[in-house]
Amino acid sequence: MTTRTIDRSTDLSQALDKLGPDETLKYNSDYLRGHIASDLLDRITGGVTFASNKLMKFHGIYQQDDRDIRDERRRQKLEPALTFMVRVRLPGGVCTPEQWLKIDELAQTHGGNTIRLTTRQTFQFHWIVKEDIKPTIEGLHDVLLDTIAACGDDSRGVMATADPADSDIHAEVAELSKQLSDHVIPKTRAYHEIWYGEERVATSENEEPFYGKQYLPRKFKIGFVVPPSNDIDVYTQDLGFIAVTGPNGIEGFNVTIGGGMGRTDNEPTTYPRLADVVGFIPKDRLLACADAVMGVQRDYGNRVVRARARFKYTIDDKGLDFIKSEIEQRMGAPFESARPFDLTTNGDGFGWRQTDRGTWNYGLFIANGRVSDLPGRDIMTGLREIAKVLSGNLRLTPNQNLIIAGVTPEDKPQIEALLAKHGLAESDKTSSLRLNSIACVALPTCPLAMAEAERYLPDLITKIEAILEQNGLAQEPITIRMSGCPNGCSRPYVSEIALTGRAPGKYNLYLGGGFHGERLNSLYAENIGEERILEILSEKLSTYANERAPGERFGDFVTRMIDRERAA
Amino acid sequence: MKFLYEHHIVDIIRRFPVAGVEADSLLAGLRPLQPRLYSLASSQALVGNEAHLTVARVRYELHGTARGGVATTQIADRLEMGSTIPVYVQENPHFRLPADDVPIIMVGPGTGVAPFRAFLQEREARAAAGRSWLFFGERNFRSDFLYQVEWQEWLDEGVLSRLDVAFSRDASSKTYVQHRMREQSRNLFAWLEEGAHFYVCGDGKAMARDVHEALIGIVEHEGGRSREAAEDYIRNLAAEHRYQRDVY
C-alpha cells in the first residue's frame, strides 16, 4: 500500500501571509463585522470600502453600479451610480404568500419596482441605495426571511427540486433543505448587530465553531434533487443530494461532490466540472455528511489562488479517492454504494397539474425570472393579486420560473381568472427553446458582465425560433443558456446551446450539453457576434432536423456530429 | 420694482407693443449686458494654462414659458467646444488662502464650492500641511454632488481632511450646510480656536446669513459665551481676515 503525500502548501494549515489577501481580510474582520456599520453612515459615497464590499457578500449583499451610465457619470466627476443587490436566503425556493407580498412591497419601495428570481431559487433585489439596505433587511425579518450567506465564502442558499410528483416528498425535501441551510450558515452575530441593530453581547464562545475566522476558501453550493427531475442541475453543485425514495418517503441520498460551472476568463487552469456520485447515505446522516464534505473543503481548499479555490479543484488536486475517504472518516461511516437513479430533464413543467393531494399547481413561465409589469403582462401586479388570495405557497424554480402551488379546486377558477386578467395565462404557449432558456442578470448591474444576457437573450431566441420553425423544430425542447461572462451563473456549461459573454456583442458558443445536465458542452466558436451565431445554429439545427435518430436530443446529436467532424 | 423684476424686456414689449419700433432701433436703445463674475474653480499651480469655472445652468419659468440664464445657458448650451469668449480677471484680495500650515474651514454649497476646489488644487500643488474641512450642500446626492470623485481622492490623499455634506432633497427633512455645521459644533469651534480660517462662498441671500447665524450659535454654545460675546468673537475673526466671504 502506498500513502500519497497530500500537498498542504495552499490550505488553511499555512500562515496568513502565505495565503491570498482575502484570507487576511476575513481573519481580521471580527467575524464579518469589519467596518460595515460605519461605512453605511458615510455620506461622501453611495458605496462602501473595498473590504466592506467583500464582507457584505457574506451578508447577502453586493455593491454594483448602473453600467449604462458609468461613462456619463465619469464625465460629470461623479462616482458610479452605486447601488446594492440584496439576495434573499430562501432554502428550497419555497415562500409563503405573506412572504411574497413583503418581497413585492420591498421591491416597490426600495428595489426599483422589480424582483429577480434567480437560478438558485431565490429573490434578488437590485437598485437598492445604501441607506435603504437596512430597511430592506428589516422588512425581510418581519416575515422571517434573511440574506445570511446568500453570497460570500460560505455555503450559499440550498436548492431543492421545485415540483416533484409526490407532494409528501416535496414537503420533506423542502424541510430538509431548510434544516440544512440553517445548519450550514455562519453563526456570527454580526448580521443581527449590523442589520437588526442588536447589541453586541460579550462572549467567550467561539463565534464560528465550524467555519472559524477564515470561513471557506470560496463559495459552496448545495442542492437536493428528486428524480427524475434534475431541475437544480445537481451535477453543477459542490455538494448534491439525490433523493432515494421508498414507500415511507425519503430513505436517503446518493451524494454528489465537486460540481461547478465557474471559469475565469483567460485562466486556462479554470474549468467547469461535473460532480461525481460518491455513494449513498441514509437520511439521518445528512447533516454529518454536509459537515464532513464542507470540513474537507475548509481544511484542504486552495486559499492561495482564488480562481482555484472551489471544491472541484480541491478534488482534482488531491484526488477523488483521498477526498472521499477523508469525508468518510469525518462522517464516521463509509458511503454505501450508490443506489440506481434516473434523471431525465433539467427543465420545468408549465401550466396546471393536479397533485396527488387533489390540489393544483400552476407552472408559470417567467422569462429570465424577471418579475415586473410589462406591456400586456403585469407579472408583478398579477402575482401580487394572486398572493393575496392564495392558500398554498409559491415556489421559485431553478430555471427562474414560478410554481403557484397548493391551489384548491374551489380556488382554481379565481386564480385562473387572475392569471388571465394580468396576461399570465398560457405563458407557456411559446417555443420550447424559450421555455428552456436561462439568462443571468448581466448588464447593467452585474460588475462581472462583459456582454448582455437578460436584456438580449429574448431577442436572440426570437431569431432562433424562426430557424426552428423552418426546420419543424418549434416544439422540440432544447436548452439554451446565456451568461454575461464566463463565470456561469446561468449554468451554461451543461446546456445544449450556451453563449458566454466575452465583449459587448461577442460570445463564446458552446454546443452539446446533456439535456438533463449530465454532460458538459464543448466550445464550438470563440468571440463571435449574432450573425455568426445564427449561421452556425442554422446549419446545426437543419442537419439535426434531417439526420437525427428517433428521439435523439439536440445536445446528443450535435456532440456526435462534432466528434465526427473532429475525427475526420 | 417688483414688476420689473418679474418682467423681462421681451415681456414688456409683448404686453405693451409700441407701433413703429423696429428691432434695430430697440436694440440700439438698450444698454450692453453686464459682465458676469464667476469664481475660478482651479489653481494654475496645478492645472497650468487653464481656468475652470463652475457654472450651474439657470433655468426657470416665467409667464408660462421656459427661460434660461443669459450667461449660463450661453456657456453650457450655445457655445461650441473650442470657441472663445471675452474674459477678464477681477482679483478678490479679500478671499485668499492663509499660510500653508493654517487650517481652513470652507462652506460652499452649490456652485459656491468653486473657489474651494481652487484652494485644494493650490494646497495639493504646494503640498501644504494645513488641515482643511469642507461643508458642501446641494439638492440630490445622486446627481448634484459637484466634483464628488475629486473630493473623494483628496480625502484619500489627505489634501482634504474632512468633508461634510447636506443634500436637501434626499430626505423628508431638509438638511443644509448649517445643520451639518451644528452637528459638528464642538470640532468646528476647536478648529477656530486653533486658528482656522473660515470661508463662505455662494448664495448671499439665505445661505450666508444662515451660516453666519450657525457660526455665532456654535461660538455661543461651545465657547460658553453670551450672544454679544459670540458676535464679538466673529467680528474679531473678520477683523483678523480669518472670516472671509464671497457671496452673491
Q: Is A150 on the interface with B (CB under 8 A)?
A: no
What SS3 state is found at A215?
coil
Angstrom distance (rounded) from CA A352 to CA A329: 47
pLDDT band for position A158 (50/70/90)? very high
Q: Which amino acid is at B52?
A: H
Sheet harboring A115-117: ordered strands across? A61-65, A82-87, A123-128, A115-117, A370-371
Instruction: Tell me the residues of chain A between 49 and 78 that have a Cβ less than 8 Å away from chain B.
Output: 74, 77-78
Q: Supply the pLDDT for residue A456.
A: 97
Instruction: Render chain B in DSSP notation, one character per residue.
Output: -HHHHH--HHHHHHHS--TT--HHHHHHTSPPPPPPP--B---HHHHSS---B--PPPEEEETTEEEE-HHHHIIIIISPTT----------TTS----TTS-EEEE--GGGGHHHHHHHHHHHHHT--S-EEEEEEES-HHHH-TTHHHHHHHHHHTSS-EEEEEETTTSSS---HHHHHHHTHHHHHHHHHTT-EEEEEE-TTTHHHHHHHHHHHHHHHHHT--HHHHHHHHHHHHHTT-EEEEE-
Angstrom distance (rounded) from CA A533 to CA A554: 16
User: What's the count of helices (H) and strands (E) in chain A, helices before strands?
Assistant: 17, 22
How many A×B Cβ pairs under 8 Å? 27
Q: Tell me: the pLDDT tens digits for A74-85?
A: 999 999 999 999
Contacts of A74 in chain B (CB under 8 A): 149
Q: What is the mean predicted confidence (pLDDT) over A123-134? A: 97
Angstrom distance (rounded) from CA A399 to CA A238: 18
pLDDT band for position A568 (50/70/90)? confident
CB B167 within 8 A of CB B141: yes
Angstrom distance (rounded) from CA A541 to CA A550: 15
Q: Supply the pLDDT for residue B25.
A: 86
CATH 3.40.50.720 fits B104-247, yes or no: no
Q: Supply the pLDDT for residue A1.
A: 45
According to the annotation, is A289 in a ligand binding site? no
Instruction: Render A496-529 in DSSP notation, one character per residue.
Output: SEEEEEEETTEEEEEE---TTS-S--EEEEEEE-
Q: Tell me: the pLDDT tens digits for B84-130?
A: 999 999 999 999 999 999 999 999 999 999 999 999 999 999 999 99
Q: Which of A485, A491, A519, A553 is catalytic?
A: A485
Angstrom distance (rounded) from CA A20 to CA A17: 8
Among all residues of chain A, which has the CA nearest to that of B171?
A131
Q: Supply the pLDDT for residue A266.
A: 82
- Classify strands B104-107 and B197-202 as parallel, antiparallel or unpaired: parallel
CB A391 within 8 A of CB A359: no
Q: Tell me: the pLDDT tens digits for A26-71?
A: 999 999 999 999 999 999 999 999 999 999 999 999 999 999 999 9
Angstrom distance (rounded) from CA B68 to CA B55: 13
Which class for B99: exposed (0-12), middle (13-18), buried (19 or more C-beta within 10 A)? exposed
Q: What is the mean predicted confidence (pLDDT) over A420-437? A: 92
Q: How far is B63 from chain A (nearest CA, A)?
A: 32
pLDDT band for position A370 (50/70/90)? very high
User: What percent of chain A shows pLDDT beyond 70?
Assistant: 99
Contacts of B148 in chain A (CB under 8 A): 44, 77-79
Per-residue pLDDT for A551 more than 90? yes
Q: Supply the pLDDT for residue A3.
A: 56
Query: Does the annotation mark A489 as catalytic?
Result: yes
Query: How far is CA A528 from its chain centroid?
Result: 26
Q: Testing the interface with A: which of B145, B161, B175 to mutate, by most A Cβ within 10 A?
A: B145
Q: Supply the pLDDT for residue A315.
A: 98
Q: Is A81 on the interface with B (CB under 8 A)?
A: yes
Contacts of A66 in chain B (CB under 8 A): none
Domain assignments of chain B as residue spans, ordered by start = 104-247
Among all residues of chain B, which has the CA nearest to that of A76?
B147
- CB–CB contact A78 B165 (8 Å): no
Q: Supply the pLDDT for residue A549.
A: 95
Query: Does the annotation mark A219 as catalytic?
Result: yes
- CB–CB contact A77 B149 (8 Å): yes
Query: Does the annotation mark A289 as catalytic?
Result: no
Cα angle, residue A418 at apex, residues A417 and A421 outer, rounded to 5°: 85
Determine the straight-line distance between the first and last CA of chain A, rounded to whole angstroms.
Answer: 44
Q: Is A38 on the interface with B (CB under 8 A)?
A: no
Contacts of B164 in chain A (CB under 8 A): 43
pLDDT band for position A204 (50/70/90)? confident
Query: Exposed e or buried b for every residue in A386-406, given b needs 16+ CB within 10 A?
Result: bbeebebbbbbbbbbbbbbbb
Angstrom distance (rounded) from CA B67 to CA B64: 9
- CB–CB contact A43 B165 (8 Å): yes
Query: Does the annotation mark A421 as catalytic?
Result: no
Q: How far is B149 from chain A (nearest CA, A)?
A: 6
Query: Does the annotation mark A102 as catalytic?
Result: no
CB A480 within 8 A of CB A498: yes
Q: Is A44 on the interface with B (CB under 8 A)?
A: yes
Q: Which amino acid is at B225?
A: R
Contacts of B143 in chain A (CB under 8 A): 78
Q: Supply the pLDDT for residue A442.
A: 96
Q: pTM of this prediction?
A: 0.93
Contacts of B142 in chain A (CB under 8 A): 46, 81
Q: Supply the pLDDT for residue A110.
A: 97
Angstrom distance (rounded) from CA B180 to CA B109: 12
CB A224 within 8 A of CB A173: yes
CB A316 within 8 A of CB A286: no
Q: Tell me: the pLDDT tens digits for A259-282?
A: 999 888 888 899 999 999 999 999
According to the annotation, is A151 in a ligand binding site? no
> What residues contact residue A344 under an 8 Å CB cut-off, 6+ apart?
A227, A228, A229, A230, A516
Q: Is A43 on the interface with B (CB under 8 A)?
A: yes
